[in-house]
Amino acid sequence: MGNEKIFDLAIIGTGPAGYAAAIYATRYKMSNIIFGLMPGGLITEAHKVCNYPGFADITGIELGQKFQQHAQSLGVQEQFKLVDKIKKIDQYKFEITTNDGQIYFSKTVILATGTKRRKLGLENEQQFIGHGVSYCATCDANFYQEKIIGVVGGGDAANTASLLLAKHASKVYQIYRQNKLRGQVAWADLVIKKANIEVIFSTNIIKLIGDKCLQAVVLDKPYHNSDTLKLDGLFVEIGSDPDNILDKELGVTLNEKGYIIVDSAQLTNVIGVWAAGDITTASNEFRQVVTACSEGSIAADSIYSYLKLNGQL
C-alpha cells in the first residue's frame, strides 16, 4: 500500500539544495516531502567548510545537521530512503517509488540528487572498500592513527583530505596524475609545506594489492626505484559525476557531461520538474553550498508561482 496523499512538492535529495527548497516551500505553505539517505548530502564528507556565509569554520557534518534542524523546526517531512523511480502520471501528478516499495504522489518534483564519488575503476577496487579503500576522509580518518596512507587526486577535495589525514597518519602520500596541484592555492600550499605529506606527481595507481585488506598499490612509474608503494589505506578524491539515473528516466535534458540543463527559474524541459544544486548547469556551474541553497530556494519560489497561477494551491 502506498501513501495516497498528493504533496505539492517532492524533493529528491537531502543536500543543501534539497533542504533549502524544503524550507522555502514550507514557508510558502506548500506541502512537501524530501527523500535522501544523509542529511546534508555529499557536504557531510567535507572536513571543513570555510566559505559558507555566517560560519567562518564548520565541518560538513555540522552544516548538514543545521540544515536538517532548520527544516525540522518548520515541520518538513523527511523520508530517509532512496527513490528508485519517478513516473509522470499527468501534469499535476507524479508517482514516486522508494527502495522499500512505498509509493508517494506529488504535483511537482525538484531533482537535487547532486553527484556521486568517482572511482578509480581498478579490477579489485570494490573488494577493498571498507578494507583499506575509502572515499571519505572525514568518515574514516580516525581508523588510520599512525598509519601510512595514500590520497589520490590533486584538487581541493584531495588537498583538504590530505591535510586532515596528516593529523592522524604518520605519513601521507598524495598521488596525482598531473605535475602541479590545482584548486585553491591556499590548500595546495599547505599540502606542500606539511612535513608528513609527500606528493607524488605525474603518477597513476594501476593496481591494488592485498589479501583481505589493502597492503600496497602499484604505480605506473617507479617512485624511489620501486613501482610498489606500501600503504595501510587509500583515499580516493578524484572528483564526482552527476547522479542522473532518475533524470534520464523522466526524459530531462542533460548536457554532454550528464548535468541537468535548467533555465533561470531552475525549470527543466519537463513540465512540473525543476532541478537544483550540483546536478544542474546553473550558477555558472560553480557547484558550491551557497549556490546550491540559492538554486533550491529559486526552484521552490518558481514552483509556488506555477501552482498558484494554475489554481493548484
Is the alpha carbon torsion for 39, 87, 245, 8 positive or negative? negative
**Beta-bridge mates of residue 274:** 110, 267
Separation CA 232–CA 242 (nearest Å): 30
Q: Angle 172-177-179 (CA atoms, 0-180°, nearest 5)?
A: 90
Beta strands in 65-136 (DSSP E): 77-79, 83-90, 93-98, 103-111, 115-117, 133-134
139 is catalytic: yes
Helix, strand or coil, per DSSP, at residue 296: helix
Q: Among 57, 84, 90, 136, which one carries the catalytic annotation?
A: 136
Q: Among 84, 90, 139, 189, which one carries the catalytic annotation?
A: 139
| Calculated CA dihedral for residues 290, 296, 301, 307, nearest 10 degrees | 180
- Which residues lie below 8 Å from residue 47, measured CB to CB, with a gap of 6+? 59, 60, 137, 138, 141, 160, 161, 163, 164
Of 85, 75, 80, 64, nearest in space to 15 by CA = 64
Q: Beta strand 171-175 with 148-152: parallel, antiparallel or unpaired?
A: parallel
140 is catalytic: yes
Q: Among 57, 100, 140, 263, which one carries the catalytic annotation?
A: 140
Separation CA 216–CA 228 (nearest Å): 7
Q: What residues act catalytically?
A: 136, 139-140
